[in-house]
Structure 1
Amino acid sequence: MASIVFGGASGLAMLGLITLIHQSFTQQAAASNRLATLFGFACLAVLVLQVVSKCILTRLSQSTAARLQFELCNRIAAAPLPELEACGPHRLLGTLGGDVGAITNALSQFPTVCANAMVLISGLVYLASLSLPLAIGSVIMASLGIASYLGGLHWANYHLRQAREDRDEVRKQLQAMVFGIKELKGNNRRCVEFMYDVLLPADTAMRERLIKGTDILGAAHTWGRLSRFIGIGLLIFVWPRFWPVTSETLMGYTLTILYLTSPLDSILGWLPALNNANISLNKINALGLMIDPSKAIACGTQIPEFRSISLRNVSYAYRSPHSDQESFHLGPIDLLVMPGEVLFIAGGNGSGKTTLAKLLTGLYTPDQGELLLNKQVVDQAALGDYRQMFTTVFVEGHLFDRLLGIDANPMQLKRWASILGIEDKVDFETGHFRLGKLSRGQHKRLALLVACLDQRPVFVFDEWAAEQDPGFKEVFYRHIVPELTRNGRSVVAITHDDRYFFAADRVVELVDGKMVSSRRQRIAA
């Protein structure tokens, strides 16, 4: 509101300057000193008001961007994991980067648009005071020019909307290039085909759409500006032939209309930004991220008491994004996890082990069946707290560059780092990690270090030992797993290492989404 007030006052002060210039041509020289004094005060007012308005706008723009991005991040954090996985990281990053910026840009310009609208209204009132018929004619001419501009904007909008869709594909392929650079470097033919048959066509399609939309928009904007000068020409050369008007009035009209061109341009120039913001908002809605806050799952912080966790007749199905047909079905599954237990989940690739782990940890919601904690059904409202019971290390899990949400003293950090052989990758004073040039094994060991320090009631490890050398496999199964299960904690591990099944109390085997066996172990080795 303050920016609108200062911006409007600045516009009115500028309009006062135009009025004083007009009066200097029509009044006697005796009043010139008074007009010069008023002109100086008006210039000072314009300077101060515009500087203050721009400073306020800068702060408004940055605070709006920060608030909008933080709100969107909160919504992403609250969104169900399957929906986020269906969106893909390239779309989420595109939304957080481009779409948030487009919406913020439109919102930050709104106070300026309101201020310019006040200037336009005041200018029209001044024109009407000079000549009402001439003011009506000016409004009609301006309306025709604005209508033609809006028609061009509507035409350009189609291409710009398509360009926004194409940008997601480009971002997807750029992400593929960055994460697949080793594979591209190792096969020149693959690299050439990717660059020329995948990346370049996607980028070309996006830019062609963008160029068409921008060209149409530029032509419409140029015509809109030119139409106003055509209107001035009609006022000067045609209007006096049909309606008597003094030269002083025509001069006042010409000066005022020339000045009003700037605020009108600002308003019309805001419309493409508003259009882009609308496209971005529709994109966010299409991704399903504009979640009703009343339905969003709260990020729980309380760790419930752990007496038992069970999955009762649980089923989950993946569906094709282009149809409602199931591409993989897990279940029905009945599973019980007790305090102090070591449970191994075994099975071939694609048997549903990771899906079962995500259902167990509350990251997926069952299509059918029930998830129970301490024999009580976990509903949507309790799911946030339920997830706090687990420390997880997934195959493709992300590793942050520091300890987050864990109060670990340097001695604990140093002990676990020594056990895992990664002392050189940890800053023991700050809790930061040195992530440069990590092998996959070191990456997983750092992730395990974080999990061991977290000390939640249940640890879930997804193929942790798959990329470790035999020495660290021995340490993991013979020393780390038993230590983690002390004080009633449980370990659930997805593993192919049948030679270490002795470390488990129970082994569950999956085949094609079905549980085919559940047997007790703990055979000495």
Structure 2
Amino acid sequence: MTGVTGAPDPWPEAPPRGALLPLGSIRSVVRALLMHDPDGGPVGLVLAALTGLVFAVVILTAGALIRDAASQPVDLARLIGFLALVAGAAVVHGMALARGMRSSERCRRALLDGLVGRLRETSLEAVEITGADSLSEAVARALSTVASGVLLVFQIVQHGLTLIVCALVILVTTPTVFLCLGAAAVVWGVLVRRRRIVERRASARAAEAEARFNRHLGEMIAGSRDLHLDPAKRRDLVITALAPAARAARDGAVAAAGARSRIMDMHALSWLLAMALLVFVLPRFGLSAQVTVAFLMLAVLWQWISGLLLVMPTLERAGQALDRLDGLDRALAPETTGPQAAPAAADAPAFERLVLSGLTYRYPDAGGVPGFGMGPIDLTLRRGEILFLVGGNGSGKSTLIKVLTGLYAPSDGDMTVDGHPVTLAAWRSLFAYVPTDLHLFRRLYGIAPEAVADGRWVLDRLGVARVVGIHDGAFTTRALSAGQRKRLGLAVAIMERRPVLVLDEWAADQDPESRRLFYTEVLPDLRARGLTAVVVSHDDRYFTAADRVVKMRDGRVVAEDDDDG
């Protein structure tokens, strides 16, 4: 599925299979349960099995009491014993349910913690390639589906064992009844499977139609300013896109609901037909006494049979969700940092020169098209200098910035600090980065309280201190313009006390006065404080503010001028 922007659905709907008993999904969910709750999971399964056995005993005992009541009254002792058995079943069932709910939540939390750990350890390239940064809602739904699937496994063990025991009793006591009901169940199962395939296809079409409507609606909301200015455009969007998508979503939802209701109708009809078989057909063959017990068993157990079959699609979705989460987990492999040539410093190491030698990077191929390649790059950064990185769109500036800051591991080449190789962690500790798509955290994570004062001068100098403050380690507001957010991001970068600031087109969103202050006052002040600044800029009128200007084209450095050149 693709949206109006052409972006593919990261987790597309799986093709319908319609299996009555999705054994593969059940195995996946049980494996996840035993892996993520190794202590409580087996105990819960044993309790569920015990509950199933106790329920089977309750049902069989009830059948025997009713059968005997036709010839003699039930004595008080048997009645009390039966009620005690029911009470014991309720207690065991409560214990199994509580254990199942705990195991379900533990599995969800373990899977979530594993993904969080992967995201913390993986490379930026893996996050960008997998789209993990835009999958938060899909991951949350998948985790919820898995948690539901784990809980259903306990239900299957419990009710399944009850059904098996009762079926065996019917087989031993009334084999004719068992064979007749079994044959009817096989025919009914084939019909239900066909109906389930139809329902899954209808649900997939409905989901696709709903996603298409949501995309058009999102486009309408995102472009509301243009649409308010141009009624003809708004009318055209509604008539040609939104209204048809809304009708398709409505019709798809109605069709899917109809398919589901027909499956439920089949469950009800099959129960009535089974009752008719027991009441009107089998007694003609002299099976009246046996039919009485079978009738009672079927009447009690039918709701469980129906319930189990209705939850099988949820279990299938749980298995698919586990496959997707496992695939995401494999894609977010921990990044390799190369040989540990030097121990990472607790703080950013002091330096005089940072040298990039023969540095290259190439993006992965996409659809047979070779990815963009950068380099080889030879570049030296000196402590306390202001370096401007310039070039046209697509020249490789942003790629070089990501490699320079250690966000991307280079494909080849060396990076040294004063002639010495360092670990990737130590290299990264040198840089504070303000990207074009800056994300402002609400709190100043990882910043010591005494470091907050380091960046207040920027807030004051650029006039943002009057609209936002810092209280108890958090910003008083983040409802700011794009330019104000960039000014706040610059202040945060300074508070991080890294020796190199990397600013990717920081001035692009600034008003003329803030831009002038940045180039003529802020950058000289950073130099005076001994900080190195790498600034991606298109403001050629301010290039004189730089100590050096490095120009890129087609992924390579094509010119390098100092402030005298």
TM-score between both structures, scaled by the size of structure 2: 0.78
Structure 2 portions without partners, runs of 5+: 1-40, 338-343
Match of 2:433 in 1: 392
Change (3 A) 1:277 1:204: farther
Q: How big is each residue's C-alpha offset from its partner over 1:201-221, in whole Å with a ceiling of 9 and x where there is no partner? A: 556555655554454344234
How does 1:158-177 map onto structure 2 within 5 Å? Answer: 158-161=201-204, 172-173=215-216, 175-177=218-220
Is 1:290 paired with 2:329?
Answer: yes
How does 1:44-443 map onto structure 2 within 5 Å? Answer: 44-82=87-125, 84-85=127-128, 92-161=135-204, 172-173=215-216, 175-202=218-245, 205=248, 208-209=251-252, 211-242=254-285, 244-247=286-289, 249-281=290-322, 289-291=328-330, 295-297=333-335, 305=349, 307-310=353-356, 312-317=358-363, 323-326=367-370, 330-366=374-410, 369-370=412-413, 372-374=415-417, 383=424, 386-409=427-450, 411-412=453-454, 414-435=456-477, 437-443=479-485
Question: Aligned to 2:502, which of 460, 464, 481?
Answer: 460
Change (3 A) 1:454 1:67: same
Task: Answer yes or no: is the 8 Å Cα contact 2:100–2:150 preserved in 1.
Answer: no
The whole-number CA distance in structure 1 between the counterparts of 2:61 and 2:103 is 33
SS at match of 1:238: helix
Question: Aligned to 2:534, which of 480, 489, 492?
Answer: 492
Q: How big is each residue's C-alpha offset from its partner over 1:11-65, in whole Å with a ceiling of 9 and x where there is no partner? A: 4444444334323333365642022212322332344334444444444444433
Greater shift, 146-155 or 111-120, is seen at: 146-155
Task: Answer yes or no: is the 8 Å Cα contact 2:283–2:291 preserved in 1.
Answer: no
SS at match of 1:291: helix
Structure 1 portions without partners, runs of 5+: none
Task: Answer yes or no: is the 8 Å Cα contact 1:311–1:333 preserved in 2.
Answer: yes
The whole-number CA distance in structure 2 between the counterparts of 1:31 and 1:233 is 29
SS at match of 2:437: coil
SS at match of 1:400: coil
Shift of 1:279: 4.4
Task: Answer yes or no: is the 8 Å Cα contact 1:170–1:202 preserved in 2.
Answer: yes
The whole-number CA distance in structure 2 between the counterparts of 1:111 and 1:486 is 67
Residue type at the aligned position of 1:269? L
Task: Answer yes or no: is the 8 Å Cα contact 1:145–1:228 preserved in 2.
Answer: no
Task: Answer yes or no: is the 8 Å Cα contact 1:5–1:115 preserved in 2.
Answer: no
Question: Aligned to 2:514, which of 460, 467, 472?
Answer: 472
Q: How big is each residue's C-alpha offset from its partner over 1:370-407, in whole Å with a ceiling of 9 and x where there is no partner? A: 352436778xxx65664443221111222122212222
Identity, % of aligned positions: 26
Greater shift, 162-171 or 27-36, is seen at: 162-171
Match of 2:63 in 1: 22
Shift of 1:66: 3.4
Change (3 A) 1:147 1:436: same
SS at match of 1:308: strand
Q: How big is each residue's C-alpha offset from its partner over 1:443-469, in whole Å with a ceiling of 9 and x where there is no partner? A: 111111211111223221111122223
The whole-number CA distance in structure 1 between the counterparts of 2:56 and 2:444 is 59
Q: How big is each residue's C-alpha offset from its partner over 1:349-377, in whole Å with a ceiling of 9 and x where there is no partner? A: 343322322232233455x5435243677
Task: Answer yes or no: is the 8 Å Cα contact 2:54–2:89 preserved in 1.
Answer: yes
Change (3 A) 1:442 1:421: same
Task: Answer yes or no: is the 8 Å Cα contact 2:52–2:157 preserved in 1.
Answer: no
Give the count of matched residue pairs: 512
Greater shift, 356-365 or 268-277, is seen at: 356-365
